[in-house]
Structures are given as structure tokens and as C-alpha cells.
Amino acid sequence: MKGLRLVYMGSVLCFLYIPIFILVLFSFNKATFSTDWEGFSLQWYTKLFQNQDLLEVTLNSLWLAISSASLSTVFSAVLAILFFRFRLPAQSFLKGTLYSLLMAPDLVLGISLLILFLAIGLDLGYLSLLIAHITFCIPFCFLTIAARMQSFDPSILEAALDLGASQFQTYTRILFPILKPALLSAWMLAFTLSMDDVIVSFFVSGPSYEVLPLKIYSMVRFGVKPEVNALCSLLLLMTLVLLFLSHRLINSKEVR
């Protein structure tokens, strides 16, 4: 019985991992079109780094992910803190909006933002992507940070205010330092979400600012390309490193 369990779990994991493993393996393959292994080579990686166009798009995506992750983390932290400390005007409306944002399909968020941007005459490019990415990251960051807020004693803030701290200082001197691990893991979460997003970006990006997932999408619609294998392997590696780091952070949070 125990053996049967292991076989079953092993085969599910194989199902999940073999395609990824083969993708990474064949990014090092010498051959261009063949699915046979013809020897180790780094040629696709060299080719990748010589592709000026692709490098530019990669930098676009990285910059978009860094900026939207940073802004949505700050935004969500502020929102979580306000919710935690005060009874807010229109509180249930805000909660409802956050909940809808979390639950609504990406596709619907994408088209509704597209309609808004066209209506207000905002050109589709970096700014439209930034607004969209910040927005879809907010509920995930909010949940991560709000969970951490639960274990926070609000009387510390009262003490700080009584001792003469300004409201601004309560953020910079108390709240942000205490929330640091949660802020970091929210940031990494948002970074990954932004780097990987296809559906929302599909609607709100324009030719002036191309992003990597859409570039990959248009490249692979007609089959397998070895340099895309190399690119995807690098992206997988990046996700893995970020996951590992955020895991370490969460664990260190428990030890405190």
C-alpha cells in the first residue's frame, strides 16, 4: 500500500515536472529542429544575449515588474494599515471592491481597464501597464500584509503618538520596519505575478512598450524555438530563486 502511494505521488510529480525538465534540457541542445539530443551547447543562450530586441523587451518587463511590485506593495501596506487602525468611510465599499478585484477573472479586469484607458485617452504603453499591474497585484499583497498585521499590538502606535511622533513617523519608524518580512514577500509575490502576466497585459499594452510574456506568446504560437527554451529556462530559474528567498523570509518570520 505504501509503495502504491509513492508510485502514484511520483507519477503526478513526473507529470508536473517532465515537460519543464525537457524544456530546460533542450535549451542546451545542439540541434535546431530535432527532438533528439545532439550534444551539449550554449549556442541558444549566446544567441539570446545577442538578440537586441529580446533584451530590450526583457528589460521592459523587469522594469515594469520592479516598479509595479514596489508601488503595489506600498499601496497595499498603507491600505492594510488603515484598515487595521481605523474605521474608514465607505469601508464596506472598499472591502467589496478589493474582494471583487481578487475574484474577478483577469480577462474582465483587462478589458475593463482597456475601456477606461480608451475612454480617458491614455495611450497604451508603460503607464497603462503600470496601472493595470499595480491594480491586479493589490489584493494578493494586501492579503499577505494583512495576515502579518494580525499579530501587531496597536497600543505601540498609541505610545508612539503620545510620545510625540507624527502620523508620518508612525509609518516610517514603526509600521514599515515591523512589517518588513511581509512587505518583502508581498513584493516578491507581486514581482512574479507581474513578470508572468499574459492576460491583463494582452489588453493594456501597446506597441510602444512590449513585455516579455506577450513577446514569448507571439514567438511560440507556431511551434517550438530553441532560443525561447533558453529564455524560458532563465525565467524559470528567476522564479525559483525568488520562491526560495521568500520561503526563507517566511521561515525567519516565524522564528523572529
Give residues 147-186 in contact with another protein (rule: CB under 8 A).
166-168
- C-alpha closest to that of 245 among 177, 179, 189: 189
Q: How many Cβ atoms sit within 10 Å of the Cβ of residue 18?
A: 10
Interface residue with another protein among 243, 245, 248, 252 (CB under 8 A) is 243
Q: Report the site for another protein in 74-113 (rule: CB under 8 A).
A: 75, 78-79, 82, 85-90, 93-94, 97-98, 100-109, 111-113
Quick one: residue 39, left, alpha or beta (phi over 0 = left, psi -120 to 50 = alpha)?
left
Q: Answer for the pair 40, 239: CB distance below 8 angstroms, yes or no.
A: no
**Cell numbers given for 106:** 483577469
In the bound state with another protein, the residue whose beta carbon lies nearer, of 66 and 114, is 114
Least spacing, CB of residue 69 vs another protein, in Å: 14
Q: Answer for the pair 149, 82: CB distance below 8 angstroms, yes or no.
A: no
- Scanning 20-28, 40-48, 52-60, 177-185 for contacts with another protein by CB under 8 A, the matching segment is 20-28
Interface residue with another protein among 62, 198, 249, 250 (CB under 8 A) is 198
40 touching another protein, by CB under 8 A: no
Rounded to 5°, angle at Cα 70 from 135 and 251 = 105
Interface residue with another protein among 141, 195, 211, 230 (CB under 8 A) is 195
Q: Report the site for another protein in 49-68 (rule: CB under 8 A).
A: none
Cα(66)–Cα(216) distance, integer angstroms = 20
Euclidean distance between the first and the last CA atom of the chain, given in angstroms as a whole number: 41
Contact map string, positions 124 to 143, toward another protein, x by CB under 8 A: -------x---x--x----x
